[in-house]
Amino acid sequence: MDGNLEISLDKLPVKRLDAIEENGLERYPPESSYDEKRVSLIRRIDFAWAVEDDEERERKKKQKKSSKDAGATWQWQSMVENLQLAHQELSVIIDLINTVEANDAVTVAGMTRPKALPNEVLSDLAVSAATKLQCYRHLGKYFKQSAKALEQQIAREARFYGALIRLQQNWKVKRQRVAAPASSNDGFTIDLFDNSLYDSTAMSRPSFLSTIRVEHHSAGMLAINLPPNSCRFIHFGFVGVHSADTPKESSKIRTHGSVEHPTRDMEKESMNDDECVKETHSLLREVHQSIFDDQVFEMVNREAFNQSVGVNVTGIRENYLQLSIGQGTSLFISLVPSMGDDQSVDTVNAQNLEPAIVPLNSFDDIKLGEGKHDTPKNKWGFPNRISCEIYLQQIVHEHAFVKAKDRPNLSGTRVSGQSGKDGCGLLGHFCLSLAHRIFSNRVLMELENVVCRVPYLHLMTHPTWHSRTSSWTIFMKVPQSILHVESQSPKSDFQNVKDAIKSQFRTKVVVNDDRINVEGEGAPNVVGLFKRSSEDICSVNKYDCDLADLPVIILQQVASQVIRWLHEEALMVGIKTNRDFLCLTFELEQGDTVSLVAHVDPEDIQGCISWWLVMEDGFAEDWKLQMDMYDGASEYRKFLGHLSLDVLYTTLMDLVSLCGGGGNH
Amino acid sequence: MNKGTGVGTGPTAAAAAAAAQKQKTMMQRVETDIASIVDNFTQLVNVARVNDPPVRNSQEAFMMEMRAGRMVQAADSLLKLVSELKQTAIFSGFASLNDHVEQRTVEFNQQAEKTDRMLARIGEEAAASLKELESHYYSSAQRTADTA
């Protein structure tokens, strides 16, 4: 402050007249309020001296600075000053904002945004545009991803439905409305239950395999998952006969969808869709067959305890049934899973079965023991195990399934056989057929033994196309040499025709179930004795016999046919002979007779029919006494041996000449 | 989606009514979905303009994401509809299914008959061969030598 002090004096606070108007009205200056008086007082203070001082100080400072920095100018100086100024302004603004925020007695009158510079505007625009572009690019990626995912889904669905359509062409596909649509299983099932059964009330128990779920596997393709060993198949066999073939080589070994599931998934991914569908078809077919085999076994079980003819249950276990069909033969029917390991277990169990058999019929057990001694022989006579299996399945199928619909004349085939019309049921028919087959094999063996040892016999088989009937014919043929001889002799054509008919004799053997019926020509019949002409029907014998007696019966029949033939040959040359069953008697002079006698012995290896020449004189009693003599070298009996028909014929001619020579005497 | 048999009285009338209703619903769904896709896409294109205040751009960015999501959802719904139609076509085309089944039945019957005939023929040939072989064997030199 300077030394001079200035003093100003206010005017006295007296109202002074401002103006008077013409009408005498006086105007006074308006009264100022207290605040205005204070403000005016403040204004009267002259701060010029302070302002001038400040300006001087600033000038001096600048001069000092410029004198200081004259040598080295710092390039960032202006920026530092600008930043400091900006910092001051910012601090003022911040204080102002804080004050406003604290609601102090300062109110904001108005705000104006500073006008943006053009480069700022453009840079803002560029940033916004770039952001938007980024946003769109992001959207683009999102859309592409979604499109790819949707395409993949479509492809998966196309594969799945394509395969399902192909499956639907052969199988019944059902759709279920699943409540949870997000699950991988769309609710498709394949129904394998066949409701077109003949006896639906009896076979109406659906197997747990009847409905199969169709699922997706990892690649989206359809897959069918089955628990392992869920498929079981019929296994047939004869007890005591261990077949060399593996029981499941005929079919049904493959199981898909079993334990090794994850690896099969990997394989399926690399497989073609076609192969996948084919494999699924095969799997479904296996299951279908398994269901059918279940039904077959159920039917077998049901009928086994219905006391049908020819069926005797001798052992029962879980999924196993053993039946005795007579003649010391037993068979078993079981259900086995298709895995190989279980198969070997099953055969072991079969071998161990004998102690586990419930001895319902001890006699059958004894027969079983007897049968075992002849195992090699019986084994030969047993039909093929697999063909029996197929036969059983075919019987059940034809009876149970096909009868329900109109069969298009399938019953006219030979394979169908009879369907239990004689009251024995399907299983009874099956067992009787097998028993017949085994029995007829034995019969054939006996017949072949006989025919082998007698050279002039021919055996001919006649297929009957009936499962319980077999038929053979044994021909005895006159040798051609004899026929030629006869044809050379002057005979009438009538005689030749007669001879032609008589060049062979037949013996027919028919086996029905286990009854043997032999029918043959040759033995004298009462009816035939009264017939004049021999081109009429020859006397025919028909009788039943046992297997043990069959060779003897056959040989006797054949021998009688030979005797008959010789008798007719003798008649043809005009010699009267007497014919007995196995004996041809020529009459000599003085009542003597010479007989040609046949002797049959099935055990004779050199030949089953041997011939004796027996002579007797007129005294029948002596002849009878001589019959008691067993001396083969008696003059009344001579053993001729096993003669062929040629030799017999010449023997006959010799005897004829003997008779004729005697007659001429 | 028609049943192929036409509208009738009785049980098929209810089924036909249900089918018509279902068809209507599906058409509606289709329209909704396609409208949603079109609408959302239009909106997406419309907000391509860059605005001055950046806050609006951010707002629009969120909206764009939402609309894109909606579009994809509508597309997915359409695809589900298509697959539903496919399923119905597969499992409700009874006329074609029945025809096919009958055709297969005829084929299999023919095959069965053919197999039966073949078996019969095999049997006959086997019988003939057996007869021939037997007669040859029994008239063969080996056997006739025994007669001498």
pLDDT of residue B4: 43
Q: Which residues of chain B neighbour A120 with C-beta distances below 8 Å?
A: none
What the block records as the tokens of A191 is 């129904």
Contact A644 B148 (CB under 8 A): yes
Instruction: Give tens-digit pLDDT for A608-626.
Output: 888 988 888 765 545 555 5
Tokens standing for residue A284? 């479904």
Q: Give Cβ neighbours of residue B30 (< 8 Å, ≥ 6 apart).
A: B78, B81
The predicted structure's pLDDT at residue A661: 59
Write down the pLDDT at residue A537.
43
A578 — contact with chain B (CB < 8 Å)?
no
Q: Are A214 and A164 in contact (CB under 8 A)?
A: yes
CA dist A229 and A337 (Å) reads 5
A–B CB contacts, 8 A cutoff, strictly below: 101
Rounded-to-integer distance, Cα A410 and Cα A393, Å: 16
pLDDT at A626: 53
Closest-CA residue to A620 (of A648, A592, A650, A643): A592
Strands (DSSP E) along A393-530, which ranges? 457-462, 469-477, 504-512, 515-521
Given a contact cutoff of 8 angstroms between Cβ atoms, the answer to whether A418 and A467 are in contact is yes
CB-based contact, A135 to chain B, within 8 Å: yes
What's the rounded Cα separation, in Å, for the pair A176 and A188? 6
- Listed in sequence order, the residues at least 6 apart from B78 whose beta carbon sits closer than 8 Å to its beta carbon are B30, B33, B34
Residue contact B54–A128, C-beta within 8 A: yes
**Chain A from 70 to 129: CB within 8 A of any B CB:** 124-125, 127-129
Determine contact, residues A250/A343, Cβ cutoff 8 Å. no
Give the Cα separation of A311 and A429 in Å (integer): 9
Sign of CA dihedral A558, A560, A561, A566: positive
Enumerate the residues of chain B whose CB falls inside 8 A of the CB of residue A408.
Answer: 109, 113
> Regarding beta strands A609-616 and A593-600, do their DSSP bridges make them parallel or antiparallel, or are they unpaired?
antiparallel
Cβ atoms of residues A198 and A404 within 8 Å: yes
Q: Is the CB of residue A407 less than 8 Å away from at least one CB of chain B?
A: no
What stretches in chain A show pLDDT beneath 50? 71, 180, 182-185, 198, 201, 246-263, 340-378, 407-420, 491-492, 497, 500-501, 525-529, 531-537, 621, 630-634, 662-665
One-letter amino acid for residue A601 of the chain: D
Dihedral angle over CA of A457, A458, A464, A469, nearest 10: 30
Contact B97 A161 (CB under 8 A): no
pLDDT at A376: 44
Q: Do A132 and B61 touch (CB under 8 A)?
A: yes
Nearest Cα neighbor of A640 from A572, A592, A594, A591 is A594
Q: What is the DSSP letter of A416?
A: T
From the list A128, A150, A459, the residue facing B50 with the nearest CB is: A128
How far is the CA of A597 from the CAs of A28, A478, A538, A633, in angstroms?
Answer: 194, 19, 22, 16
DSSP label at residue A401: I
ipTM for the whole complex: 0.78
pLDDT number for residue A625: 55
Contact across the interface for A463 and B113, Cβ inside 8 Å: no
Taking an 8 Å cut-off on Cβ atoms, the answer to whether B113 and A161 are in contact is no
Among A50, A276, A240, A267, CA closest to A162: A276
User: Chain A contact for B97, CB < 8 A?
Assistant: yes
Tokens of B56: 């609006």
Let me know: does A586 contact A594? Beta carbons within 8 Å. yes
According to DSSP, the residues that pair with A238 across neighbouring strands are A331
Q: Are residues A522 and A561 in contact, defined by beta-carbon separation less than 8 angstroms?
A: yes
Pair type for strands A540-545 and A577-579: unpaired
Smallest Cα–Cα separation from A274: which of A154, A167, A155, A152?
A167
| A104 dihedral zone (left: phi>0; alpha: psi -120 to 50; beta) | beta
Asked if A627 and A595 count as a contact pair (C-beta separation under 8 A), the reply is no
Predicted pLDDT at A84: 94
Which among A346, A350, A348 has a CA at the least distance from the CA of A337? Answer: A346
pLDDT confidence of residue B115: 95
Flag whether residue B127 sits within 8 Å of chain A, measured between CB atoms.
yes
**B138 vs A128, A161, A458: nearest CB:** A458
Return the closest-CA partner of residue A300 out of A402, A399, A406, A446. Answer: A399
- Whether chain A has a CB inside 8 Å of the CB on B104: the answer is yes
Place of tokens 């069909």: A325
Instruction: Determine phi and psi for A576, rounding to 5 degrees.
Output: -90, 125
CA A444, CA A450: separation in Å to the nearest integer?
Answer: 10
Residues A183, A185: Cα–Cα separation, whole Å: 5
Name residues whose C-beta falls within 8 Å of residue A286's C-beta, 6 or more positions apart in sequence. A231, A252, A254, A255, A338
Query: Is residue A146 within 8 angstroms of chain B, CB to CB?
Result: yes
Greatest C-alpha distance within chain B: 131
Task: Say how far apart CA A297 and CA A315 lie, in whole Å.
Answer: 15
Question: Does B119 contact A415 at a Cβ distance shorter than 8 Å?
Answer: yes
Three-state DSSP state, A240:
coil
As a whole number of angstroms, the distance between CA A522 and CA A557 comes to 7
Cα A341 from Cα A293, distance rounded (Å): 20
d(CA B98, CA B109): 16
Q: What is the pLDDT of residue A383?
A: 86
Q: How far is A46 from chain B (nearest CA, A)?
A: 50
Q: CA-to-CA distance for A351 and A347, rounded, in angstroms? A: 6
Q: What is the identity of the amino acid at A297?
A: F
Residue A620 region, left (φ>0) first, then alpha (ψ -120 to 50), else beta?
Answer: alpha
**CB-CB contact of A636 with A616 (8 Å):** yes
User: What pTM did the predictor assign?
Assistant: 0.67
Q: What is the DSSP string of A586-616?
A: EE-GGG-EEEEEEEE-TT-SS-SEEEEEEEE
pLDDT at A412: 40
Q: Which two tokens stand for residue B79?
A: 């695809």
- In angstroms and rounded to an integer, the radius of gyration of the C-alpha atoms of chain A is 63
Question: Which residue among B57, B90, B146 sits closest to A131, beta carbon to beta carbon?
Answer: B57
Radius of gyration for chain B, computed over Cα atoms and rounded to the nearest angstrom: 37
List A519's β-bridge partners, or say none. Answer: A508, A542
Task: Map out the domains of chain B as residue ranges.
Answer: 19-147
By the 8 A CB rule, do A546 and A516 touch?
yes
Measured between alpha carbons, how far is A471 from B130 in angstroms, rounded to an integer?
14
Ramachandran category for residue A243: left, alpha or beta (phi over 0 → left; psi -120 to 50 → alpha): beta
Tokens of A384: 């093929």
How far away is chain B from the Cα of A256, in angstroms, using its nearest Cα?
Answer: 26
For residue range A364-378, list pLDDT tens digits in order: 433 443 444 444 444
Test B52 with A125 for CB contact under 8 angstroms: yes
Is B75 part of the contact surface with chain A (CB cutoff 8 Å)?
Answer: yes
A455 in contact with chain B, both atoms CB, cutoff 8 A = yes
CA distance A197 to B122: 30
Q: Which residues, listed in sequence order, are joined to residue A323 by a DSSP beta bridge?
A: A313, A331
Average pLDDT over residues B24-50: 93
